[in-house]
Amino acid sequence: MSTTLSHEQSLALLQRWDTLSDDDKMEHQKEILKVLEEPGSVDKFSQQCKEIGQRAVVIDTSFKRVHEGFDEIIEKFGKDFPEVKEYGARWDGLRSRWDGPEGILWKSRDLASFTASELDLYDSVFLELVASIETEQDLKDAQAELRNFSKREHPINIDPAVAEKFKVLRNDVQKFSVDFTLYLAEKKQELQAEAEILQAKISQLKANIEELDGQIIKILIGVGASAALGLATLFVTATVLAAFIALRIKKQIDLDNAKKDLAEVNRKQKALQHLQTEFEGLKPDIQLICDNLAVFAEIWESARKQALDFASILDAGLEVVTKASFKLTLAVARKTAMPLKEGMKVYATSIVNP
């Protein structure tokens, strides 16, 4: 039964082996080589490498969708929540770091093209020399070729910052999502607290008005007695009544305003719920960007590390190349160099600058 090559196994093919013990390294690479030697496995791995270009298109599309989503959010909710405009500008900044004039998308495309040609040289010259080492002279020749190879500017030993930029952008995109989620949560708490204060204020004002109504009724009942006692008493009673009525009018105005304020807070709470729902709809795209950027970082970093590992291994001398662990590492490198090269070619040609 043929073993299929999973995404995780594909990435494992590009890992740095010196993070494993010798025994684990042997077993791990035996399994990988076993998979690669099965009919069709290398083709599958090659296809997965080629899909890197498709991932770039997915990232591009997702960045655009989130941008358009924030445009809609700003149009609908910018008046109530002006901070969303700042988040929209912040997203555009992240997008520019991806596909702007100096963005890593275009740099990675150029680097991919360069990587493909260098991997060809790496496989056909350097790995071929390493594979044919039998004598001390063969070792010296391979080391000399490696030194010449390393002196040239090529992806194997330049711009490790590309991988780091993918990682940093991925982390910043994740932070953006976390920060905006926290912003929504804080706004929700603020509006809930404001609503509770207004509800308490409305309850208090209603109680005040009810009490004032009772006082006014008592004064009106007493107006007749005041008239019998004389004009002076009636004047005092009327003055007190006017003061209570004025206070009652003020309390009613305060109550009406508080009700309006509460209605506005309730409207904003509903708007916030809609805003949160719309952002939840954008989260899958944001997560997709993060997932794919993580793959990009691993791909760029792995190609560089693999060659550096070989350089370090050869410095140990001729006896190293006879070890089973080294032979396994070399076999895996040769099996993966070609599909990775083809994948980089397709990636470079699939990215079209608008």
The pLDDT value given to residue 16? 45
Q: Is residue 223 part of a domain?
A: yes
The pLDDT value given to residue 114? 74
What gap in Å lies between CA 238 and CA 236, rounded to an integer? Answer: 5
Q: Is residue 340 part of a domain?
A: yes
Phi-psi region of 158 (alpha: psi -120 to 50; beta: other; left: phi over 0): beta
Q: Is residue 5 part of a domain?
A: no
Q: Is residue 11 part of a domain?
A: no
The pLDDT value given to residue 120? 76
The pLDDT value given to residue 100? 83
Domain count, the chain: 1
The pLDDT value given to residue 292? 75
The pLDDT value given to residue 256? 94
Q: Which domain, by its residues, includes 308?
A: 24-350
- Tell me the pLDDT tens digit for each residue of 90-130: 999 999 998 888 788 877 777 777 777 777 777 777 777 77
Task: Decide: 258 and 198 in contact? Cβ < 8 Å.
Answer: yes
Q: Is residue 28 part of a domain?
A: yes
Q: Is residue 18 part of a domain?
A: no
Q: Is residue 258 part of a domain?
A: yes
The pLDDT value given to residue 156? 47
- Tell me the pLDDT tens digit for each residue of 56-68: 778 888 999 999 9
What gap in Å lies between CA 15 and CA 297, rounded to an integer? Answer: 12
Q: Is residue 6 part of a domain?
A: no
Ranges of the chain whose pLDDT falls below 70? 1-22, 24-25, 28-29, 32, 35-37, 41-50, 52-53, 146-163, 220-238, 294-323, 343, 351-354
